[in-house]
Amino acid sequence: MNGARSRCRMVLSCFSVVFILIASFHVLHAGDNAWSHVRQSPQGGNLAWERGPVEGFAWPASVAPNQQIKFYVSIQNINGGHSYRIEIFRLPDLNTVLWTSSNIVGSFYPLRDASGTPIYPGDTTRKPVDFKLGCKSYWEPTAISYVVPTSFSSGVYLARLNHLSLADGDTLKYSYMPFVVRSANPGATTKILVYSDQSDQLFRSNPIVYRSEATMV
């Protein structure tokens, strides 16, 4: 039995490595493909003190229909406004909006170092390595809860954050929060294993605790 389990773990590990390589290839070569929206670097690339106008992540990373997911959002006050909307798409179709929230008045949350001291935008004395604590607990007060409809089929989804104070042509107007919807009966009709890797969230300016999981859809 132990030998069988070891072989199973080895097969899953090999599958995960192959999947990561394939997924990374698609991300790197996506161009205008919808997958290119999943991984976005913060403006300027300094995680400690350069922040985007609106940032967020979805947690948990994967949910089944009729389960709750939360969207954790931090938004900067720009042009006197800090309101946003959430729009949900199922990849690869970014033309069909499956759900749109009402206008939400958000809050801005600074990042924090190991002692919990805030790191504010523009504080160039702080370096990327100073950022130690995740955002989930700090952003919880304004997290938006959403129950995934039973009509959502399994697949990869994007929740798009829309900063309402920025013009439509502004490249920083939108930010994307990827998540996976599992089948209500995993493996019943297909045998596809999706490896959900949250490392892209870890190394963005809105990290959460690192977690990867394999999900049968």
Q: What is the pLDDT of residues 12-31, one digit of tens each?
A: 333 333 333 233 333 333 33
Confidence at residue 121, expressed as pLDDT on a 0 to 100 scale: 83
CB 208 within 8 A of CB 136: yes
Burial of 65 by CB count in 10 Å (0-12 exposed, 13-18 middle, 19+ buried)?
Answer: middle
Confidence at residue 194, expressed as pLDDT on a 0 to 100 scale: 58
Most confident residue range from 42-46, 122-126, 154-158: 154-158
- Mean pLDDT in the chain? 74
User: Quick one: DSSP state of residue 124?
Assistant: T
- What are 179's strand-pairing partners? 157
Task: Check residues 173 and 215 and name the one with the higher pLDDT.
Answer: 173
Can you give the pTM of this predicted structure?
0.72
CB 201 within 8 A of CB 49: no
Confidence at residue 103, expressed as pLDDT on a 0 to 100 scale: 97
Distances (CA, A) of 211 to 14, 112, 179, 197: 18, 20, 13, 7
Amino acid sitting at position 87: E
Q: Which two tokens stand for residue 102?
A: 């009402």
State whether the Cα torsion 169-170-171-174 is positive or negative. negative
